[in-house]
C-alpha cells in the first residue's frame, strides 16, 4: 500500500454500494493496513503505545469481512447531514428498540435493483404511512396498486360525515384527507370500505363502478353508500337493497301509498322471484297460506264426559259479560291482541259446542214432533168416536 499523508487515516471499505471513511489524527501508515487488536480496538505494532491506549475508543472496527460500529450511526450522505443513515438505538421515538434503525428525512424504502431495473417493494413516509408495493394514496398502509389496492388507515374525522369513524379497511379504496380514491382498470372503478366508529359500530359501504377512470368521493358520499351496519349492541341494520340467502330474498319496497317488507322465493316454474309474504307499514300482512301449530285441539268437546253449559246458564253468562265463555273480552283484545292459533282453537270450540246445542235442540224437536203425532192421532180417534 502507498504511503498515506500524515494526520490522516483513510479506511475505505467497499460492500455493495456502501463506502466508509474515517479520519484519525496523528497516524502514519507505511505498510499494509494491519488488523486491529481485538481487545482494545487498537492497531498492532508500533501504534500500540501507552499514549494510544489512552485515546478515546474509535467509532469503527474493521476486518477483512466485518464492520463494527461502536453504538453509533452510519450516515449515508455528505458531512453534516445526519438525517439519513443506519444506527443502533436503545430508544427511538420514545420506543425501546435495542436494535438497528434505518432512517431518512422524509422516509425510506426497501427495493430491488436488478441490472439497473428498480422496483420499490416497501416504502414508508414521514407521516407514518407504509406502502407495500403500492403508490399514491394517503393512508396508513397500502398493499398493491390499482384495482388490487388494499388500504388500512385512520378515518380521523371530527364531524359526523362518517358518524365519527375511527379506522378503516379499503378494497380498491384509499382515503386522502377527507376524500376517497377509487382506482380504475380502464373499465371499472368500484370498491368497498369497512370502517368502525367510536360507538363500537361497524359500517359496510359499497361503491358501484361509474366508468373507466378513477373516481373520488367525499366522506359524506361514502356514508351515503353504507348498506349495512353492525351495531355494538349486536343489532344489524340493512339500510337499503336486498338480502339474499340461497333462493330466498328479503327486501324493502317503497311505494306511493305504502311501504312493504317482502319475502320472496325463486319459483322455477315462473323462472322468477315470487312473493311469499308482504307486510306493509299499516301492519297488514299478506300471504298465500298461514299454518299455525296448535296443541290440544278442541275435539275434547265431543267427548261424552264433556260438560256442556246449560242454555240457561249460557244466557245468564252472556247477559252478565257480553261475550261467550272462554272468549277474551273486547278490552282484553284491544290491550293484548290475540293469538291466531289460540283464537282459532277457541272459535272451533264454540262451533263444536254450538253443534252439540243444535243436536240437542234437534232431539227436542224430534221429541216434540213425535208427541205432536201422538196427540193428533188421539184427537182423531176421539173425533171418530163421537160421530
Q: Which of 120-134, 192-206, 228-242 holds the top average pLDDT?
A: 192-206
* 55: pLDDT strictly greater than 70: no
pLDDT of residue 228: 92
Residue 274 and residue 227 share a domain: no
pLDDT of residue 138: 57
- pLDDT tens digits for 199-220? 999 999 999 999 999 999 999 9
Residue 279 and residue 315 share a domain: no
Residue 122 and residue 56 share a domain: no
Residue 204 and residue 255 share a domain: no
pLDDT of residue 41: 43
How many domains is the chain partitioned into structurally? 4
Q: How confident is the model at residue 158 (pLDDT cuts 50, 70, 90)?
A: low
* 257: pLDDT strictly greater than 70: no
pLDDT of residue 136: 54
pLDDT of residue 355: 95
Residue 125 and residue 78 share a domain: no
Instruction: Give the range among 45-59, 267-281, 366-380 with minimum mean pLDDT.
Output: 45-59
Q: How confident is the model at residue 171 (pLDDT cuts 50, 70, 90)?
A: very high
- pLDDT tens digits for 258-314? 677 788 888 888 788 787 888 888 888 888 888 888 888 888 999 999 999 999 999
Residue 182 and residue 279 share a domain: no
100 occurs within a structural domain: no
Residue 111 and residue 236 share a domain: yes
Q: How confident is the model at residue 128 (pLDDT cuts 50, 70, 90)?
A: confident
* 67, 91, 115 - which closes a domain: 91
* 287, 313, 347 - which closes a domain: 287
- pLDDT tens digits for 63-95? 556 777 788 888 988 878 999 999 999 999 998
Q: Using CA atoms, how far apart are residues 32 and 57, in angstroms rounded to an integer?
A: 22
Residue 113 and residue 78 share a domain: no
156 occurs within a structural domain: yes
Residue 263 and residue 234 share a domain: no
Residue 262 and residue 208 share a domain: no
pLDDT of residue 7: 33
Instruction: Give the range among 130-134, 227-231, 260-264 with minimum mean pLDDT.
Output: 130-134
7 occurs within a structural domain: no
Residue that wins the pLDDT comparison between 164 and 254? 164
Question: Quick one: 162 exposed, middle or buried, by C-beta within 10 A (0-12, 13-18, 19+)?
Answer: buried
Residue that wins the pLDDT comparison between 256 and 369? 369
Residue 374 and residue 337 share a domain: yes
Instruction: Give the range among 85-99, 137-151, 190-204, 229-243 with minimum mean pLDDT.
Output: 137-151
215 occurs within a structural domain: yes
195 occurs within a structural domain: yes
Q: Is-contact 203 226, C-beta < 8 A?
A: yes
* 13: pLDDT strictly greater than 50: no
Residue 226 and residue 128 share a domain: yes
132 occurs within a structural domain: yes
Q: Which of 68-72, 106-110, 240-244, 383-387 holds the top average pLDDT?
A: 106-110
**Which structural domain, as residue segments, surrounds residue 58?**
13-91
102 occurs within a structural domain: no
366 occurs within a structural domain: yes
Amino acid at each position: 500500500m502507498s504511503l498515506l499523508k500524515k494526520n490522516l487515516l483513510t479506511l475505505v471499505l467497499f460492500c455493495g454500494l456502501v463506502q466508509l471513511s474515517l479520519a484519525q489524527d496523528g497516524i502514519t501508515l507505511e505498510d499494509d493496513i494491519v488488523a486491529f487488536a481485538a481487545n482494545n480496538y487498537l492497531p498492532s505494532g508500533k501504534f500500540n503505545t501507552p499514549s494510544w491506549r489512552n485515546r478515546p475508543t474509535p467509532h469503527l472496527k474493521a476486518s477483512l469481512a466485518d464492520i463494527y460500529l461502536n453504538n453509533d450511526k452510519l450516515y449515508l450522505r455528505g458531512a453534516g447531514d445526519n438525517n439519513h443513515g443506519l444506527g443502533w438505538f436503545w430508544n427511538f421515538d420514545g420506543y425501546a428498540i435495542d436494535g438497528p434503525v434505518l432512517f431518512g428525512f422524509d422516509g425510506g424504502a426497501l427495493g430491488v435493483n436488478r441490472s439497473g431495473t428498480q422496483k420499490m417493494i416497501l416504502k414508508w413516509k414521514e407521516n407514518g404511512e407504509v406502502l407495500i408495493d403500492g403508490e399514491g394514496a394517503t393512508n396508513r398502509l397500502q398493499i398493491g396498486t390499482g384495482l388490487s389496492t388494499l388500504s388500512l388507515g385512520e378515518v380521523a374525522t371530527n364531524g359526523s360525515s362518517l358518524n365519527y369513524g375511527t379506522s378503516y379497511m379499503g378494497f380498491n379504496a384509499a382515503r386522502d384527507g377527507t376524500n376517497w380514491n377509487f382506482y380504475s382498470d380502464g373499465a371499472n372503478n368500484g370498491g368497498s370500505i369497512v370502517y368502525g366508529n367510536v360507538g363500537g359500530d361497524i359500517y359496510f359501504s359499497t361503491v358501484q363502478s361509474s366508468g373507466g377512470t378513477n373516481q373520488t368521493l367525499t366522506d359524506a358520499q361514502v356514508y351515503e353508500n353504507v348498506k349495512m351496519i353492525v351495531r355494538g349492541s349486536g343489532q344489524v341494520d340493512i339500510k337499503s337493497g336486498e338480502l339474499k340467502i340461497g333462493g330466498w330474498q328479503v327486501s324493502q319496497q317503497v311505494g306511493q301509498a305504502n311501504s312493504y317488507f317482502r319475502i320472496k322465493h325463486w319459483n322455477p316454474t315462473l323462472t322468477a322471484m315470487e312473493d311469499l309474504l308482504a307486510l306493509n307499514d299499516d301492519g297488514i300482512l299478506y300471504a298465500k297460506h298461514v299454518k299455525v301449530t296448535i296443541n290440544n285441539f278442541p275435539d275434547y268437546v265431543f267427548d261424552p264426559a264433556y260438560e256442556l253449559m246449560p242454555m240457561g246458564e249460557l244466557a245468564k253468562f252472556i247477559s252478565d259479560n257480553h261475550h261467550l265463555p272462554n272468549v277474551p273480552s273486547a278490552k282484553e283484545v284491544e290491550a293484548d291482541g290475540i293469538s291466531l292459533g289460540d283464537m282459532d282453537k277457541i272459535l272451533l270450540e264454540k262451533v263444536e259446542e254450538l253443534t252439540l246445542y243444535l243436536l240437542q235442540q234437534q232431539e227436542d224437536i224430534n221429541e216434540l214432533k213425535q208427541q205432536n203425532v201422538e196427540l193428533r192421532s188421539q184427537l182423531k180417534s176421539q173425533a171418530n168416536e163421537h160421530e
